[in-house]
Chains A and B, each alone.
Chain A
């Protein structure tokens, strides 16, 4: 084991240990926030795999998040499936949708890729509204508390919810950390840096990019399904453009192409919005200002700047 990978193992397991410790240290209000943050961080990590590591900017990830969310929500509410099966349904839906979107959208590059993903997500959002009699449209629907039992554990309580979120977060966190150091992840980074050269070296870039879209979309869908299950609400808001912009914001703020960046970004943005929404109803103003400042002054985000200036080994 090299020194760098030892460091990054310490960092990853240290982060998880810190999150366990925070449960006992923080007051109840922040514990509640943190379980939400961890689920959203899963979404951000899914986005980061595509944007940060592969260099593909999708402006339509809300489609995958909402697919997982509605897949689980409707499986439970409309078809009465138990939550374990419904979670699988949600993830399978996300895999199918992301495969279809990947096959179509990857025929384009650059700005066209962004617009195509944006348009598909918009069509998805409008579809949710159009079938309002099943999806309840903007109003959304609530998953009854009695049904939210996963593997025999009632996950509506604060403690069980926190640890359910933590387990999900840890699995995805370690999976991504493993993935980006694997030959597969290295190839994605190579595609980000120079696709032509990677192709010339004999790598099948099309297949790698498609796999990146599918894995990224499925993780986002998993986050959506988990969000619906843990917080009991499914609504069209989560399919709007705003929820495609959020992961971009989180990842840019935290640091694109770093394993820890998504979590850092979500924590910062969550508390920034939480604090500013107490002051004004126009809390998205903060998000706008942060986005502009980031593009101008810190295009690599917080973790990216730390890596550039202090710890070169940061994964």
Chain B
């Protein structure tokens, strides 16, 4: 394959990564934005989503689409409930103290991960995509014989991958509507700006926190359900999404939602492209170093405002 088609293929893979990443990182970003806590267990809610998606999808026989749709509803719900309960039992009791919350969520990370190991087992398990038509893509070239359209071998994507991108855009649009056009969004934004004043105006801040923590976990789980037909479910799979979400949230500016989306596209695309042309490990080394240096020299991220 020539460089051009190869780059197009890499960009398509990158777009899928970016879509999943935008969903997962958005969960982390909302939690940080509203509650001002860093949830180190975020990747494990991603993993819960994937594992439940496998459990639900494999319990339905017949058309894989039914199982998949059921998983898309059930998995985020369960992940959200687990997160909300964890918030009530643990985070609320340490009063969202930043240091203690980090330590507690590290503990939560191991509890969830190891429970998954005991119940789900150490094997990676696949989920059948609801549809998976192979789509060949054309490539346009201006050669000696003028403008030609070719179909390079290997330049193709699947209908499912395109669906992932569309679905992620749909969920993010829904989230934007929720945050800016509904009363629930108004309450969340009020809590984010000044939780004490919000409390004084009758906003049940504690309950809002539980819902927000659940919403964050749910978003990660949606990302995971979308990704399992491409990547298998495994009890250690939460590690990479956590790291990448951290990177995205920091680059985008802590707590800035539009920044998160832009950074997710930036990181997802460049991760996809660097991984195709160079080594995935090198891509991650560069990304982590960039994040550390961004935090050191621009502590509010690229789009973040000064607090």
Which residues of A are interface residues toward B (Cβ below 8 A)? 57, 59, 104-105, 107-108, 110-112, 114-116, 118-120, 122-123, 126-127, 129-130, 241, 245, 248, 252, 280-285, 287-292, 294-296, 299
Q: A119-B288, A285-B110 are in contact. List 15 more A-B contacts (CB 8 A).
A: A112-B299, A115-B246, A116-B292, A123-B285, A126-B281, A126-B288, A129-B281, A130-B282, A130-B285, A241-B239, A245-B106, A282-B114, A285-B111, A289-B107, A292-B107
Can you report 13 A-B residue pairs in the complex whose CB atoms are below 8 A from each other?
Answer: A57-B99, A104-B293, A107-B296, A111-B98, A118-B246, A119-B289, A245-B106, A252-B103, A280-B118, A285-B114, A288-B114, A290-B107, A291-B110
Chain B positions within 8 Å of A112 at CB level: 295, 299
B82 to chain A, nearest CB (A): 14
B8 → A minimal CB distance (Å): 27
Interface centre among A107, A282, A295 (most CB of B within 10 A): A295
Task: Evaluate contact between B113 and A284: CB separation under 8 angstroms.
Answer: yes
For B235, the closest partner residue in chain A by CB is A282
Q: How far is the CB of A311 from chain B (nearest CB, A)?
A: 25
- Min CB distance, B171 to chain A, in Å? 26
Q: How far is the CB of A276 from chain B (nearest CB, A)?
A: 10
Whether the pair A111, B107 counts as a contact (CB closer than 8 A) is no
Which residues in A have their C-beta under 8 angstroms from that of B282?
130
A118, A130, A248, A291: the one contacting B279 at CB < 8 Å is: A130
Name which residue of chain A comes closest to B292, CB basis.
A119
- Tell me if B284 is interfacial: C-beta within 8 Å of chain A: yes
Q: Interface size on B (CB < 8 Å)?
A: 42
**Chain A residues, CB < 8 A from B93:** 296
Check: B104 CB closer than 8 A to any chain A CB.
yes
Proximity string of chain B (189-213) to chain A, C-beta cutoff 8 Å, 1 when within and 0 when not: 0000000000000000000000000
Q: Which 6 pairs of residues, A with B, have the shortest CB-CB distance?
A: A288-B110, A291-B107, A285-B114, A292-B107, A282-B114, A288-B111
Docked pose: A119 CA to B103 CA in angstroms = 17
* C-alpha gap A283/B118 in the complex (Å): 10
**B166 CB–A CB distance under 8 Å:** no
A104 engages B108 (CB within 8 Å) = no
Selected from B100, B112, B284, B296, the residue in CB contact (under 8 A) with A299 is B100
Q: Is the CB of B98 within 8 A of A110?
A: yes
Min C-beta distance of B267 to chain A, whole Å: 13
The docked-state distance in angstroms from the alpha carbon of A193 to that of B177 is 44
Give chain B interface residues in 238-265, CB to chain A under 8 Å. 239, 243, 246-247, 250
Interface residues of B in 94-128 (CB under 8 A from A): 94, 98-100, 102-104, 106-115, 117-118, 122
Say whether, besides A115-B246, A130-B279, A104 and B107 are in contact (CB < 8 Å): no
CB distance from B5 to the nearest CB of A (A): 28
Closest B residue to A126 by beta carbon equals B285
A95–B115 Cα distance when bound, in Å, is 39
Residue of A122, A241, A245, A299 with most partner-chain B CB within 10 A: A122
Does B115 lie within 8 Å of A292, measured CB to CB?
no
Chain B contacts of A126 at CB under 8 A?
A: 281, 284-285, 288
Query: Which residues from chain B contact A296 at a C-beta distance below 8 Å?
Result: 90, 93-94, 104
Contact A292 B108 (CB under 8 A): yes
Chain A hits for B106, CB < 8 A: 245, 248, 288, 291
Partner of B102, one of A57, A129, A288, A292: A57
| B253-307 interface with A by 8 A CB criterion | 279, 281-282, 284-285, 288-289, 291-293, 295-297, 299
| Chain A residue at minimum C-beta to C-beta distance from B118 | A282
Interface residue B227 (Cβ < 8 Å from any Cβ of A)? no
| Whole-angstrom distance between the Cβ of B118 and the nearest chain A Cβ | 5
Min distance, Cβ B154 to any Cβ of chain A, angstroms = 27
> Which residues of chain A are within 8 angstroms of B292 by Cβ–Cβ distance?
104-105, 116, 119-120, 123
Docked CA distance A108–B301 (Å)? 13
Structural contact, B107 and A130, CB atoms closer than 8 A: no
Is B38 located at the chain interface by the 8 A CB criterion?
yes
How far is it, in angstroms, between the C-alpha of A291 and the C-alpha of B239 when the chains are bound? Answer: 19
State A269–B89 Cα separation when bound (angstroms).
Answer: 24
Contact partners of B291 in chain A: CB under 8 A = 115, 119
A115-B108 contact in complex given A280-B118, A284-B113, A284-B114, C-beta closer than 8 Å: no
User: In the complex, are the beta carbons of A292 and B284 less than 8 A apart?
Assistant: no
Cβ of A71 to closest chain B Cβ, rounded Å: 19
Nearest opposing residue in chain B for A297, CB measure: B93
Q: Which residue of B110, B115, B247, B284 has the most chain A CB atoms within 10 A of its CB atom?
A: B110
Of residues 69 through 96 on chain B, the ones whose CB sits less than 8 Å from some CB of chain A are 90, 93-94
Which residues of the other chain, A, contact B281 by a CB distance below 8 angstroms? 126, 129-130
B109 CB contact (under 8 Å) in A59, A123, A283, A288: A288
* A115-B38, A116-B296 as given contacts; A295 in contact with B288, CB under 8 Å: no
Contact B288–A123 (Cβ < 8 Å) = yes
Contact B104 A295 (CB under 8 A): yes
CA distance A50 to B114 in the complex (A): 29
Contact B285–A285 (Cβ < 8 Å):
no
List of A residues within 8 angstroms of B295 by Cβ: 108, 112, 115-116, 119
- B98 CB to closest chain A CB (Å) equals 5
Q: Which residues of B contact A105 (CB under 8 A)?
A: 292, 296
**Minimal beta-carbon separation of B294 from chain A (angstroms):** 10
